[in-house]
Amino acid sequence: MCEHKEFEANVHIDRLVDGDLISFIANIMVTCKQCGKPMVFIGLPPGISASQPTVSFNKSTVRLPIVPMAHELDNERPAQALTYTEQPNSNGI
């Protein structure tokens, strides 16, 4: 029985585009380095949003909306709400 004492994190960034670029999404997955079991993120809604953190349908990927720091400080382009409800794909992800 693994006690899950070491972890690996994988991060990749998606550009969220709907005609114009809307936002960047940091996708983060964490697995146990010893047994390979994916960790799930709790307490977040499923889907993708440019304005709030969400999780994949199976909760193994947290999706964090990000913008370059200058954008946030200048408040020139506040994140627009773009949210959809995700359906599970054939991989269950």
Residues that bind Zn ion (CB under 5 A): 2, 4, 32, 34-35
8 A C-beta contact, residue 14 and residue 22:
no
In three-state secondary structure terms, 11 is: strand
Least Å distance, CB 7 to Zn ion, is 9
> Which of 32, 66 has the CB closer to Zn ion?
32
Distance CA 48, CA 72 (A): 19
Least Å distance, CB 40 to Zn ion, is 13
Least Å distance, CB 38 to Zn ion, is 10
In three-state secondary structure terms, 28 is: strand
> Which of 3, 20 has the CB closer to Zn ion?
3
